[in-house]
Amino acid sequence: MRAALLLAALFLAGSAAAQDWQAVERVEPYSVAGSTGLEIYQSIGARGPKLGVARVIAHTGFKLTWTRKYERQGNACTITVNKPKLIITYTLPKLKTKLSEPLKSRWDTFLAGVTAHEKVHGDFIKDMVKEIEAASVGMTVENDPDCQKIRPQLQAKLGELSQAQRARSRDFDQVELSDGGNVHQLILQLVDPS
């Protein structure tokens, strides 16, 4: 019984150590205006964040840095510390115009829906960081006393996890932005409530 309790305590301590970070989430608004749903949507089209050559309604970006400790253990190299610092930035429209009902309620619904959509992207990013942390803490490369071979192996794994996160986000957007998708419906309800 005592051994089982000790194992449970060690597992919980390891889990807490792997999760002792919090993402910093911030909103970076951009101004839009209009007195109709269509005017507001046109303002979003003119002022929204650029993604490639096109403008979008909203965007989720992030900055990720790591505090890593590589330790020689015999003739091997092991990552003993890998602590992330994650800042997620949601770029969202902010309406400068005062609205009356029913347009105000439509705008509020639109903004809440777009914000919820972007928060899902934020959750995907947090999941990726947790996967990177899990894959790298304790990573060991044999015959690497100078801790040189471990770095390209780590970068290859990080690349795989990053690509998986991007694919997950693209798949989510494809559903949400398609005809009849959630974001598409939000746009239609803002622009043409009939």
pLDDT, one tens digit per residue, over 160-170 is 999 999 999 99
Contact 88, 60 (CB under 8 A): yes
Please state, in angstroms and rounded to a whole number, the distance separating the CA atoms of residues 48 and 28.
11
Please state, in angstroms and rounded to a whole number, the distance separating the CA atoms of residues 120 and 161.
17
Domain contains 10? no
Please state, in angstroms and rounded to a whole number, the distance separating the CA atoms of residues 133 and 145.
22
Domain hosting residue 99, numbered range: 20-191
User: Token digits for 25?
Assistant: 């989430």
Indicate whether 4 pLDDT > 50: no
Residue with tokens 């015959």: 143
| pLDDT at 52 (0 to 100) | 85
Domain contains 86? yes
Domain contains 11? no
Q: Which residues pair with 51 in a beta bridge?
A: 54
| pLDDT at 8 (0 to 100) | 38
The model's confidence at residue 51, banded by pLDDT at 50, 70 and 90, is: confident
The model's confidence at residue 20, banded by pLDDT at 50, 70 and 90, is: confident
Closest by Cα among 25, 43, 182 to 110: 182
Domain contains 91? yes
| pLDDT at 19 (0 to 100) | 56
Per-residue model confidence as pLDDT tens digits over 56-81: 999 999 999 999 999 999 999 999 99
Domain contains 4? no
Domain contains 6? no
Residue with tokens 């639109």: 110
User: Token digits for 166?
Assistant: 């991007």
Domain contains 133? yes
Closest by Cα among 57, 119, 40, 50 to 92: 57
**Comparing 20 with 89, which gets the higher pLDDT?**
89
3-class state of residue 34 by DSSP: coil
Structural domains in the chain (count)? 1
Domain contains 3? no
Closest by Cα among 135, 4, 139 to 76: 139
| pLDDT at 194 (0 to 100) | 62
| pLDDT at 192 (0 to 100) | 81
Pairing of strands 54-55, 59-73: unpaired
